[in-house]
Structure 1
Amino acid sequence: MTESDPRRRRDPSSISRARRYTPRGRTVREAADGAEDNRARENGARDREAARRERNRTAQQTEAEDLAARRRREAAARSRERRQRETGTITEPRKPEPETKRSTSTAKSEPLRRTGTVRPTQSRRTGPINPPRGGGRRPTNRPTGPVPVRPLASLPRLGSPARRLRMAAAFVMILLLVSGARLVQLQVTDSAAYAAEALNQRLTTEPLPAERGAIMDRNGNRLAYSIEANYIAVDPVMLKGDAAELAAGLAPLLGRPASELEPILGTKETPQGDQIRFAYLQRGVDLAIGDEIRELENPGLIIGDDERRVVPGHDLAANVIGFTGGDDGEGLGGLEAAYDDWLSGEDGEVSYERSQSGQPIPGAFYREEEAVPGNDLQVTLDDKLQFNVQKILESTVQEHDAEFGSAMVMEVGSGEMLAMASTPTYDAANPFDVDDSEAYRDYGTQATVDPGSIHKAIVFAAALEEGCIKPDGTMPVEQSINKGGTDYEDGYEHGSAVLSLAGIIAQSSNVGTIQLADCIGKEKLYEYQLAFGLGEATGVGVAGEAAGILQEPQNWSGTSEGSVPIGHEGTATIMQMAAMYGAIANDGVYVQPQLVDHKINADGEIEEQPEPETHRVISKQNAEDLQYLLQAPIAAETGTGRNAELENYHLAGKTGTGSLVVDGDYAPGNVTSFVGFAPAEDPQYVVAVSVYVPGGGGGGSTTGEAFKEINEFALGYFGVRPATEPAPEFDVWG
């Protein structure tokens, strides 16, 4: 080394300092000189590490293969043992051969530490593959003997893409088949049913009310007819809004309480579960009301064409004409009810599809059945005569504080009723605004009473026909007579006297009439009662006409011989009594009363009514004699009907004081009546008046004035000539 070599000039202490900074205790020079060696050693270490890792992998693979083989052997042994048990050939199990312990690992070399020492490698653990998991001591030897067989969980099968594809395709095909079958069912099998159901949901059927026929008087004046109006109905399914609020708004327009409208508006189904698509709220409303409801624009409210019944006379002959009502506008009383089928016609209907807004769908289903209008009815009443008769009757009832009354005018010979008035009455244009349902009653045909003395004309006619007395004959008459223990007295004081037939009639003698009835006999008297129309309804044409009660002879009691001849123990209507006096006025021929003149069909063709039934009761001569004698109550000084005397005309008639039976007992007061005809010398018209006066009164004093006034107007109205001869004078005393 030369002096310039820096290694020679280095301080000896610098080696220690250099070594302090070299790794693994080598000097810098050693590190520099051994750089190549170091790299070789590092490469060798890496190769050895790689070889060690490869050996570990090989050992692990070998161990896994040994484990799998051992498990297969154990499974095979268990399988053999299971088959032996099943077949019954169990043999001594073969002891498993001891396994040769194999080294599960090879010696592994650690890379040399930089200090030069070698770390010994740990040998891999040998022993049971699956040691117990508990903390106890592991068994050193396996048990000998039969190995218990435990079922192993089946290993999952490997997926098959082809199989999955086939299953998916099959599922799709099934789904398509089910969908196709359902479509075929909907489109082919059930298509008609579903189409019909859908149509029903859109379909609305509304009635087309037929125009009701008119009722006219004998001169063609309309007493009742129909005009154009609207009906208001509801389709609850399409109704919008709250039913209670809507009912409160419609109530003042329809004139019905909201409590009645709300259930109709809110009920959508019938008790059977069927939908309600149409229900009337009100019929016959004014067109202006229909327009106002239409402005509500509620799809559930239906406004349709309808008609409203108009009665221009209001209460004029209301009890005879009757009224209509109900959802179908049917007749509910009088002629409206009796001839409802003829007047009503046949309703039609229209069916169409509606949208959700309630509007008809253009071009959709539409079907219309036209309504057949009703027919007209022309009655025999005369509106002007009816008005005056009704006014006179009402005045009489008010003047005498009567409870009810009736009056009528009938044409002799034809039996046509020219006027039929009843009171109390009602406004047929507003028929439901009444305080008492009795206002609907026609007292002329539906009220039966004991007729009283007006019944005596039957006894007089029978006495003449049977020859018991002559028209100018006389007979002694006592003041009273006893029949069945009851005394029957005359109202006029005459003591024991001889009375002519005219006197018996004029004074309405009870005793004289009973004596004539004794001459006739009860069987014959009963026959004459039937012949004069008692005991059965006249059939005049008013619905609900009463027949009255007529006692048969075998039912007579001890007092009947005194009561029946003078108009008691039996009942009749004033219509029956008018028909009876009409038979006397018609020369002894009974004519059935007629209210309907003829019918007119929708084409304007007239259908004549059948001729009224007629039959002779007494001879013409006896009828004419009785016509003359019946003037005595009005013309004779002692007559009971003196206040009915009419200037310029001769009247014939008979007063009566009967009784009213209520619930089987006689009511207080009297039923007073006056029935007769005019003019007496040539009878044209029968007039009958009857009122019930609870306070009592006589027939002449109560109804005589009304009888005169009605005759006076009727004779003047129809132009009957006044009498040219003075009234006859009657000698009532024999």
Structure 2
Amino acid sequence: MTESDPSPRRDPSSISRARRYTPRGRTVREAASDSAQDNRARENGARDREAARRERNRAAAEPAEDAAAKRRREAAARSRQRRQRETTATGTARTESVRTETQARRTGQVRPGPTRRTSAPGAQRRPAAAREEEAPRVRPLRDLPRVGNPARRLRFASALVMILLLVAAGRLVQLQVTDSAAYAASALDQRLTTEPLPASRGSILDRNGNELAYSIEANYIAVDPTRVKAKPAELAVELAQLLGRPASELEPIIATDETAQGDPIMFAYLQRGVDLAVGDQITDLKDPGLIVGADERRVVPGRDLAANVIGFTGGDDGEGLAGLEANYDEWLSGEDGEVTYERSQSGQPIPGAFYREQSAVPGNDVQLTIDADLQFQVQNILEDTVEEHDAEFGSAMVMEVGTGQTLAMASTPTYDAAKPFDVDSEEQYRDYATQATFDPGSIHKAIIFAAALEEGCIEPDGTMPMGQTITKGDTTYEDTYPHGDATLSLAGIIAQSSNVGTIKLADCLGAEKVYEYQQAFGLGEATGIGVSGEAEGLLQEPKDWSGTSEGSIPIGHEVTTTQAQMAAVYETIANDGIYTAPTLIDHLADSEGNPVEDENEEEPETRRVISTETAQTLQYLLQAPIADDTGTGRNAELENYHLAGKTGTGQLVVDGVYAPGNVTSFVGFAPAEDPQYVVAVTVYVPGGGGGGGVTGEAFKEINEFALSYFGVRPADGPPPEFDVWG
């Protein structure tokens, strides 16, 4: 065909395309049906790809959606894909069914569908892989999880929330209604703290108002173990250096934060009476568990002056432990107060919170009869005497005649009352004038002389014949002054301290009378002088006397007394025969110093023991031991004053047996013409010695100072002369 041929040429590729879409053996209608099915598949794939793209965009826009929503969307997408596949399968099946029916109508039989060629002549078909890429790949379905029921979940969550709210509400009701009072009280207890307000202890004054013991401002150091921050062992070491107390004693107090019953310990004393400067140092430690409070410290300015009489205080409450401090502790101590307040975690009081204060009631005063200056001199004289004679202990007293007031009462060994626990032996605490008992020896003979004169066994100027010895039971008693067989006057018996003459006078009296006069003069019972722990001594009733008692008891053996009892005997003679119980207490006073009548305090007991005539006769005769050349107390003679008294040499009983050595004594009064003061000196000398030789000098020196100190006029004339020989 030439180019001028008007009929167009047929493009060979167009035939191939026709064959591609109308394969051999298929009609145009069938080809059109297949082409429509492919178009729908392509449209479905496009929609799926568009949905996937939107899903990716949504996922990128909402990165924070939860996993549950994502899973629901994925499940929905899979569901759409399944429906699409089902729709496609249904359409394909319907098209095949239509083709089959058409063929059957034409031929009257059903022809099997032609096998499709994989490739056509002259054309290249797309590979299966490319066709699969164009259509969405459908993965096999898995078993999907069971979809939850939102309504049921909501009900369950609501029920759970309601239960939790009910439990919380119940607990709130319990805390704020049922147990509110208990919890509030417990919380208050944790905030509350109670600290003591120690009462100021009263003073002990001498007769002139001088303070023998008083209290000054100080600090107490306490601990709240529940709030201690430092380690107890380390804190105890720091405090030990400041308090002067071993760390081994402080550590258990600091470390123990509850009682045996499990109750918390919030206050415990570590030390009382601490100097204010030490209290400031402990405050600087800044440990919240340490408490520094206002307190007082006992001061004894005389240190060992009358320490055995005054005593001392101690313990956590500063109570009296010995002497007058113990005997009048309730009167002196007053009543402690306390302050209770709420404190913060740092230990500071909470402003406006609970606060209650009970004020302390200060203690009262005790004014003694002791004269501090006289006490000082008596104590020095006694200590010199004990040291000079290598004595083990001694005591000395000065009493006022007529009142029984004790102006001085010294003991040695003694101690420093400002440091009462710094002693070598507890014997240093003893008041030997009232707490030590001994056989009085010859100073007891004054009772026999008074009874013999009162009962008429001898006249004041009477005489008695006697030998050098006398035997009672299986014991022979001898006079120390050698006189042989002689006649002695009553003055001579007293001057020479004749054992034989005294025993003969007791024989005249009889055991019953001797015992009766011993009791009348106050032997066998405590004097009530005011010192705690006063001894009573020992008297034997006549029914208990042995064969030797008729000889031993009259001369001061087989009987025990105290120095205070024997001083009261001679005070009775000096007081014209009237016994007055000795006392150390002048009066009691309140905290302001005003005298107070003590309803429980009894008036000193007074009673007549012998007649005035008998007493005055003895006042004269008792000068003989000092004034006469044969007297046992010659070394006690005092220039310008006439002294009266009696020496004695007794024994000390220790654990039921007599200790070695002697208890030497000198008891008397001055001036003899008008007795004002009784002086008694007693010294235990393990090496032995006589009453006059050991105690005579001390008796004289004490009388000399006392008479001069109190302004007693000297005697107008020389001492009397006695006819000691009958």
| Deviation of 1:28 (Å) | 9.1
Q: 1:29 to 1:337 in 2, by over 3 A?
A: closer
User: Between Structure 1 and Structure 2, how many residues are aligned?
Assistant: 625
Pick the aligned partner of 2:352 from 348, 363, 370.
363
Amino acid at match of 1:700: G
Report whether the alignment pairs 1:672 with 2:678.
no
Pick the aligned partner of 1:299 from 259, 265, 288.
288
Tell me the percent identity.
74
Report whether the alignment pairs 1:595 with 2:579.
no
Pick the aligned partner of 2:699 from 707, 713, 728.
707
Does structure 2 conserve the Cα–Cα contact (< 8 Å) formed by 1:459 and 1:517? yes
| 2:550 paired residue number | 561
In the TM superposition, what whole-angstrom CA distance separates every residue of 1:189-231 from its partner, at most 9, and x where no partner exists?
Answer: 3222212211211211110000110110111111111111111
SS at match of 2:279: helix
Counterparts of 2:87 and 2:675, CA distance in 1: 156
Report whether the alignment pairs 1:510 with 2:502.
no
| Worse overlay, 156-165 or 309-318 | 156-165
Pick the aligned partner of 2:608 from 606, 613, 616.
616
| Deviation of 1:38 (Å) | 4.0
Q: 1:266 to 1:55 in 2, by over 3 A?
A: closer
Taking the TM superposition and a 5 Å limit, the aligned residue runs for 1:621-640 are: 621-640=613-632
| Deviation of 1:158 (Å) | 9.2
| Deviation of 1:110 (Å) | 9.3
Report whether the alignment pairs 1:34 with 2:19.
yes
Q: 1:33 to 1:170 in 2, by over 3 A?
A: closer
Counterparts of 1:374 and 1:621, CA distance in 2: 47
Counterparts of 2:279 and 2:184, CA distance in 1: 34
Counterparts of 1:3 and 1:219, CA distance in 2: 170
| Deviation of 1:108 (Å) | 11
Counterparts of 1:45 and 1:534, CA distance in 2: 153
Amino acid at match of 2:666: F
Amino acid at match of 1:34: R
Counterparts of 2:189 and 2:114, CA distance in 1: 97
Counterparts of 1:110 and 1:712, CA distance in 2: 168
| Deviation of 1:568 (Å) | 0.9
Q: 1:111 to 1:518 in 2, by over 3 A?
A: farther
SS at match of 1:706: helix
Does structure 1 conserve the Cα–Cα contact (< 8 Å) formed by 2:232 and 2:254? yes
In the TM superposition, what whole-angstrom CA distance separates every residue of 1:490-532 from its partner, at most 9, and x where no partner exists?
Answer: 1111111111111111111111111111110111100100000
Report whether the alignment pairs 1:605 with 2:599.
no
| Deviation of 1:34 (Å) | 3.4
Amino acid at match of 2:357: E
Counterparts of 2:514 and 2:146, CA distance in 1: 121
| Deviation of 1:47 (Å) | 9.1
Report whether the alignment pairs 1:320 with 2:309.
yes
Pick the aligned partner of 1:401 from 362, 386, 390.
390
Amino acid at match of 2:690: G
Pick the aligned partner of 1:581 from 570, 583, 599.
570
In the TM superposition, what whole-angstrom CA distance separates every residue of 1:577-628 from its partner, at most 9, and x where no partner exists?
Answer: 0001110111111000011000111344312465311111111101111111
Does structure 2 conserve the Cα–Cα contact (< 8 Å) formed by 1:45 and 1:111? no
| 1:491 paired residue number | 480
SS at match of 1:308: strand
Report whether the alignment pairs 1:329 with 2:329.
no
Counterparts of 2:112 and 2:269, CA distance in 1: 108
Report whether the alignment pairs 1:652 with 2:644.
yes
SS at match of 1:305: strand
Does structure 2 conserve the Cα–Cα contact (< 8 Å) formed by 1:645 and 1:651? yes
SS at match of 2:588: strand
In the TM superposition, what whole-angstrom CA distance separates every residue of 1:125-162 from its partner, at most 9, and x where no partner exists?
Answer: xxxxxxxxxxxxxxxxxxxxxxxxxxxxxxx9996544
| Worse overlay, 560-569 or 571-580 | 560-569
| Worse overlay, 717-726 or 607-616 | 607-616
In the TM superposition, what whole-angstrom CA distance separates every residue of 1:528-560 from its partner, at most 9, and x where no partner exists?
Answer: 000000000000000110001111111111111
Amino acid at match of 1:311: V
- Root-mean-square deviation (CA, aligned residues, Å) is 2.6
SS at match of 1:34: helix
| 1:418 paired residue number | 407
Q: 1:54 to 1:418 in 2, by over 3 A?
A: closer
| Deviation of 1:188 (Å) | 2.5
Taking the TM superposition and a 5 Å limit, the aligned residue runs for 1:178-577 are: 178-577=167-566
SS at match of 1:541: coil
| 2:108 paired residue number | none
Structure 2 length normalisation: TM-score? 0.82
Structure 1 length normalisation: TM-score? 0.81
| Worse overlay, 524-533 or 194-203 | 194-203
| Deviation of 1:331 (Å) | 0.5
In the TM superposition, what whole-angstrom CA distance separates every residue of 1:243-281 from its partner, at most 9, and x where no partner exists?
Answer: 111111111211111111111111111111111111111
Q: 1:113 to 1:313 in 2, by over 3 A?
A: same
The gaps in structure 2 that reach 5 residues or longer are 6-11, 42-84, 91-110, 121-144
| 1:84 paired residue number | none
In the TM superposition, what whole-angstrom CA distance separates every residue of 1:304-348 from its partner, at most 9, and x where no partner exists?
Answer: 111111111111101001111111010011110000010000000
The gaps in structure 1 that reach 5 residues or longer are 6-26, 59-106, 117-155
